[in-house]
């Protein structure tokens, strides 16, 4: 049962938003306002790890505001029904809907408003992915936090961005690196700031692996694959459980690595022209990543840290060793 203070009107505008919490998400102040303590508890699970961020890295700006009103549907939803949101963006406006769950955001103002049913809030995974994290990260992406589709691991303070198709093995390689003492910056999306010099941000909460990862990594043998909020069946690994230093929230230095699979045993790493990295980071972008005008500037800034191609073979240990070498020496591979 989800506790909330109901509105006294059918439209929901009288709901008291007396539950509030702040988080320094991606170094930006974020305020969650709601009429339900369950929403704040979910926000703590999604963003609470950001409280460990060094105060010097938190921007002194007005907070992003996400207002989440728990409001029952006129008709109870069908139990067990999948949550599927239809999303639309035009200009600075974002809207999304799934049944009685309605989401809106004014991206230029840094404000979002959502009406969500108690049933959706009770489905923690779906609520956090489709509502909380979606709205908060969407707002942050308009505040000098341009999203880049890449995984990223950190060694000795330097990130290696793993850029490739969804089947290239980014998450698998990230996890293999974590087992060898790397830190995780991001599994799938890196947020890049340029305003005060290059800085990369990640949201390293969970890492998701295909079910066959249990055959590669013996410690995952007892993990069960489940349908995730994005509809894919994967193992969900809490990064914090991998060690107190497994998560890294930001770095200032990075090298771009285009990742490809190949059928051989050994992996190989070769330098490439920076323009190839720029093209991979700024052309033919997937929906959502194509909303940001600074994508080309971000790609150029990242490519200045060096650009390489990693052809990853079946020997993951060899690929990890190449990534460590690349991070350790930067351009001088």
Q: Write the burial class of residue 288 (CB in 10 Å: 0-12 exposed, 13-18 middle, 19+ buried).
A: middle
- Tell the CATH topology of 146-332: Rossmann fold (3.40.50)
Q: Write the burial class of residue 77 (CB in 10 Å: 0-12 exposed, 13-18 middle, 19+ buried).
A: middle
Mean per-residue pLDDT of the chain: 93
- pLDDT (tens digit, 9 = 90+) per residue, 216-239? 899 998 888 888 888 888 999 999
Dist. CA 35–CA 43, nearest whole Å: 13
3-state secondary structure of 64: strand
Dist. CA 287–CA 181, nearest whole Å: 33
* Radius of gyration, CA atoms only, the chain: 20
3-state secondary structure of 44: helix
Contact of 64 with 21, CB cutoff 8 Å? no
Contact of 235 with 209, CB cutoff 8 Å? yes
Whole-structure pTM value: 0.93
Q: Write the burial class of residue 204 (CB in 10 Å: 0-12 exposed, 13-18 middle, 19+ buried).
A: buried
Strand segments (E) across 173-319: 183-186, 189-193, 199-201, 206-209, 226-227, 233-238, 250-251, 253-261, 268-271, 307-312
Q: Is the pLDDT of residue 80 over 70?
A: no
Dist. CA 85–CA 123, nearest whole Å: 14
- pLDDT (tens digit, 9 = 90+) per residue, 8-43? 999 999 999 999 999 999 999 999 999 999 999 999
**Spacing of C-alpha 105 from chain mean position:** 18
Give me the pLDDT at residue 145, please. 97
Q: What is the mean pLDDT of residues 126-154?
A: 97
Dist. CA 202–CA 57, nearest whole Å: 13
Dist. CA 35–CA 17, nearest whole Å: 5
Residue 331 pLDDT class (50, 70, 90 cuts): very low
Domain ranges of the chain: 19-140, 146-332
Q: What percent of the chain has pLDDT over 90?
A: 82
The torsion of the CA quartet 63, 66, 69, 75, rounded to 10 degrees, works out to 170
Dist. CA 184–CA 176, nearest whole Å: 11
Kindly report the CA angle at 106 between 8 and 281, in degrees rounded to 5? 140
Give me the pLDDT at residue 293, please. 86
Q: Is the pLDDT of residue 333 over 50?
A: no
CB neighbour list of residue 193: distance below 8 Å, 6 or more residues apart = 27, 144, 145, 146, 199, 200, 201
């Amino acid at each position: 049962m989800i506790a909330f203070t109901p509105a006294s009107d059918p439209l929901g505008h009288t709901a008291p938003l007396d539950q509030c919490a702040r988080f320094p998400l991606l170094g930006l102040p974020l305020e969650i306002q709601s009429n339900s303590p369950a929403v704040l508890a979910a926000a703590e699970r999604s963003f609470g790890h950001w409280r460990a961020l060094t105060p010097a890295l938190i921007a002194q700006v007005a907070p992003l505001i996400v207002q989440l009103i728990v409001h029952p549907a006129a008709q109870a939803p069908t139990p067990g029904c999948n949550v599927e949101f239809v999303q639309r963006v035009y200009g600075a406006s974002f809207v999304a809907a799934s049944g009685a769950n309605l989401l809106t955001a004014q991206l230029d103002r840094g404000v979002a408003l959502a009406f969500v049913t108690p049933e959706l809030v009770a489905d923690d995974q779906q609520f956090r992915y489709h509502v909380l994290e979606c709205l908060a990260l969407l707002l942050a992406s308009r505040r000098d936090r341009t999203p880049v589709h890449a995984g990223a691991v950190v060694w000795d303070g330097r990130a290696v961005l793993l850029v490739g198709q969804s089947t290239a093995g980014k998450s698998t390689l990230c996890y293999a690196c974590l087992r060898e003492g790397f830190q995780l910056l991001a599994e799938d999306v890196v947020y890049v700031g340029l305003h005060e010099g290059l800085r990369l941000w990640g949201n390293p909460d969970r890492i998701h692996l295909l079910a066959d990862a249990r055959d590669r990594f013996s410690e995952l043998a007892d993990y069960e694959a489940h349908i995730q909020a994005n509809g894919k069946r994967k193992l969900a690994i809490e990064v914090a459980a991998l060690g107190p230093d497994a998560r890294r929230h930001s770095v200032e230095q990075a090298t771009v690595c285009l990742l490809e699979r190949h059928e051989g045993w050994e992996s190989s790493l070769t330098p490439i022209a920076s323009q190839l990295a720029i093209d991979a980071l700024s052309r033919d972008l997937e929906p959502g990543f194509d909303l940001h005008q600074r994508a080309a500037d971000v790609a150029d800034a990242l490519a200045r840290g060096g650009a390489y191609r990693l052809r990853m073979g079946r020997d993951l240990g060899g690929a990890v060793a190449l990534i460590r070498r690349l991070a350790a020496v930067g351009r001088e591979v």
